[in-house]
A and B are shown apart, each in its own frame.
Chain A
Amino acid sequence: MVPESVRIKFRKTGRLRYISHLDLDRTVRTALVRIKIPVWYTEGFNPHAKIVFAQPLPLFAESECELLDIKITEKMPFEEIKRRLENAFTDDLHILDVYTPENSFRDIAFAEYRISGNFSVNENRVNDFLSKDININKKTKSGEKNVNIRPQIYSLKLNSDGTITTVLDASGNSYLNPDIFCRALLGDNADFLITRTNWFRSENHGITEFR
């Protein structure tokens, strides 16, 4: 059969916060072998399972919406794939959904994050923050660069429980690292936890669901 694309949505929490993207990638590959998902292998001298993540999650962040695409070479009901995946990890990696992808990872334009922690920010601070350029020093290959991240912030909202919800640019060209955003808003030494909560595509100058 033609390899079939399967999208896996999972939560990454707890002790997995300290596990880098590369380590997660290896962990998932080993698990896929263990639970015998018929993953499509690349041809060639050193064949490896073709698996693609939507985007790396920064170290120390959690997520409720991580996405991973695999291709399978034999028919297997999604329910069965889900059941096997559920037993393949600890609770820190919790499988939420297994489905046929509708959009390509290339179409991801924005990501939504919830910021919680030991800080206090009020409406005034938010309004002030959003009202002007937000210049930060960014380390690049050719040294430090001063950039304005304001255009990459799509929305920013204070929740009644003291947490913050923000939608930031997550497109290939102008992705904004939520860590940088938090430091700009809360200060370098603030104690915060970032949780990625959703993905969006662009549509008619607005944003819409990504699936």
Chain B
Amino acid sequence: MKLDAILKNVLKPGRYTGGEYGQVIKNKDKISARFAFCFPDTYEIGMSNLGMKVLYNALNMMPDVWCERVYAPWPDMEEQMRKNGIPLYALESLDPVKDFDFMGITLQYELCYTNVLNMLSLSDIPVYSFERDERFPIIVGGGPCTYNAEPLCDFFDVFSIGEGEESLTEMTSLYISMKKDGSYTKSKFLHRLAKIPGFYVPSLYNVKYNADGTIKSYTPIYDDIPEKIQKRIINDLDSAPYPDKFVMPYIETVHNRITEEVYRGCIRGCRFCQAGIIYRPVREKSPEKVNEQIKCLYENTGYDEVSLLSLSISDYSRLSKLTEILLEWTDNEKVSLSLPSLRADTFSKELMDRISSIRQSGLTFAPEAGTPRLRDAINKNVTEEEILHACSLAFGGGKANVKLYFMIGLPTETYDDISGINDMGTKVVEQYYKTENRVKGRHPSVTLSCACFIPKPFTPFQWCGQNTIEQLTQKQNFLSEKITDKHLRFNYHDAKASRIEAALARGDRKLSAVLYEGFKLGMRFDSWDEFFSYEKWEKAFKNAGIDMSFYANRTFSTDEILPWDIIDIGVTKDFLLREYKKSLDSVPTPNCREKCSGCGANRLGGVTAWCPKVSE
């Protein structure tokens, strides 16, 4: 077989063979729709993604649908595939993706967009949707980036907006029924799909622009499709489908462990954070359900590590109960628990003792900003005392490594705020030596990790322009010179990559041309340092005649129509605007549990959320 021959010439051939324990195999003759679920990054990263596991399971629960997995081949494999005429294939059947009914691509971060186009091309599928006739699969996009997928509009047939467990099932069911009753054509299918909540068919909406390049209007081309696409949510997480087994990779992936989602959404509303807004309202699983699902996955995988997933695990209202029932059996079975998203203000001795089995090398906290003033402005309601207290607990518990996450370039930031990052680091180091019960004879290592602020759609800072590369670099250098304590380590993100992310995140449909130019330049794997090339991106923007700063650095007007206004995420633009204005006065907002701020997400429903009822 051709594939066998090329697998001898590539790194980590186990990425491309499939055949893992736990994969779903179905009889091709007995199913009505084939779904290729594509993750536009490496096997190792994609196999660790929980969303993909959840949807793989949900789709395969349908007896007449077979969902298979596809990952982006590393360039060495791509070269072999192109040279030998092997199109992109799915791992379960090894059949070419172009023979499937659906190609679903999950969009997790902007820098994977170049891989999306490359994967279409590797599948021998035309990248532009208008070039694809009935012979080609329906190309569906999903995942967090679809909340503003405008830059990808020219390449996708439809986007699934919001949580996909139910909507993808509805989509495939509609497809199957239309095929069966003979009414199916691609355009009729897309038209009917557009009437179902949660489906955005970009070709059915016309966009007009003002002379200055901003958006003038979005108009649906049919009157029976909605003007705005409302995101879908799962009402009750306890009854939503959750995988009872995982596909077990042979090769080492990013995480070889059980991941259990504990709740969706976030009560906090940090003003830079997109996840904290788009997943509202908060819906929790019951501790009993979480325990039951973990137990089942333990039986079916044999993994000895469980990671409790959520945006901020310590905000889970029944965390104490949950750890209690989990520890009843996990300790005996030598299963360790990890809580990857602890907040400093709710970090307690009790919690630390309970999860002492975590094989964590160090602790991480995210103050995000260096001064109380700026933390108020971004609504990161954590105080210096809380951080020092949490660090002190950690030091007393035998840790000497702490990592603190910050952002540089936040709206309203001054150089004092940047100095504050160093001040906080220094205080944490001092705290180490003040902690009586620390492990004597060791020295602390405190890492200050600084990302660049990226304005994201559906956040209170969505209007804010990003600092220029020069400004960001200047700030990074300033901080770097400030940091002199030898126990402090400083690392920061590449300002150039952050700028591209900002431009794509806030982009409109005109950016499809940029992505196409990038594709022609052979760009791919831009989320990997070794492949990211700012020069190529500049060239792609230039070739497309698009000004990057219009999207990355411009402060959008609050009465402008935003490219993502076509999507209704539940949270209102009004709320975001209120939050934006409060940020300018450095006024924080209480979290949802303290007080409802009327963000609007409660319109969507959702049991186990503490939002006020819709009727109230």
Binding site for B on A (CB under 8 A): 14-16, 18-20, 23-24, 26-27, 29-35, 41, 47, 59-60, 88-90, 92, 191
Contacts and interface: CB of A to CB of B under 8 A. Distances in A.
B302 A60 contact: no
B331 to A, nearest CB: 13
A23 B302 CA distance: 15
Please provide the 7 A-B residue pairs with the shortest distance between their CB atoms, ordered closest to farther. A34-B302, A15-B19, A33-B302, A18-B13, A30-B302, A15-B17, A19-B250
Given A15-B17, A19-B251, A32 B302 contact: yes
B21 A18 contact: no
A23 B251 contact: yes
Contacts of B303: 30, 33
Given A27-B250, A31-B302, A41-B334, 18 more contacts: A14-B19, A15-B19, A18-B7, A20-B251, A23-B14, A23-B250, A23-B251, A24-B250, A26-B252, A26-B256, A33-B304, A34-B299, A47-B334, A59-B13, A60-B7, A89-B21, A92-B19, A191-B5
Given A18-B13, A20-B14, A60-B8, A31 B21 contact: yes
Contacts of A60: 7-8
A18 B301 contact: no
Contacts of A29: 302
Contacts of A92: 19
Mostly, the B contact residues are: loop
Given A23-B251, A30-B303, A18 B17 contact: yes
22 contacts: A14-B19, A15-B18, A18-B13, A18-B14, A18-B16, A19-B14, A19-B251, A20-B251, A23-B250, A24-B250, A26-B252, A26-B256, A30-B256, A30-B302, A30-B303, A32-B302, A33-B304, A34-B301, A34-B302, A88-B21, A90-B20, A90-B21
Contacts of B334: 41, 47
B161 to A, nearest CB: 36
B300 interface: yes
B173 to A, nearest CB: 30
Nearest to A47: B334
B248 interface: yes
B303 to A, nearest CB: 6
Contacts of A59: 13
Nearest to B304: A33
Interface in B1-30: 5, 7-8, 13-14, 16-21, 23
Contacts of B252: 23, 26
A18 B566 CA distance: 47
B19 A90 contact: yes
Contacts of B256: 26, 30
Nearest to B245: A34
Nearest to B333: A33
Nearest to A15: B19
Contacts of A27: 21, 248, 250
Contacts of B304: 33
Interface string B229-260: 00000000000000000001011100010000
A88 B29 CA distance: 27
A181 B518 CA distance: 47
A30 B301 contact: yes
Given A27-B250, A92-B19, A34 B13 contact: no
Contacts of B251: 19-20, 23
B199 to A, nearest CB: 36
A32 B7 CA distance: 29
Nearest to A31: B302
A30 B248 CA distance: 9
A133 to B, nearest CB: 29
A42 to B, nearest CB: 12
Contacts of A34: 299-302
Contacts of A41: 334
Given A31-B21, A47-B334, A16 B250 contact: yes
Nearest to B251: A23
A39 to B, nearest CB: 11
A168 B354 CA distance: 55
A30 B21 CA distance: 11
Contacts of A191: 5
Contacts of A19: 14, 17, 250-251
A91 to B, nearest CB: 9
Contacts of B7: 18, 60
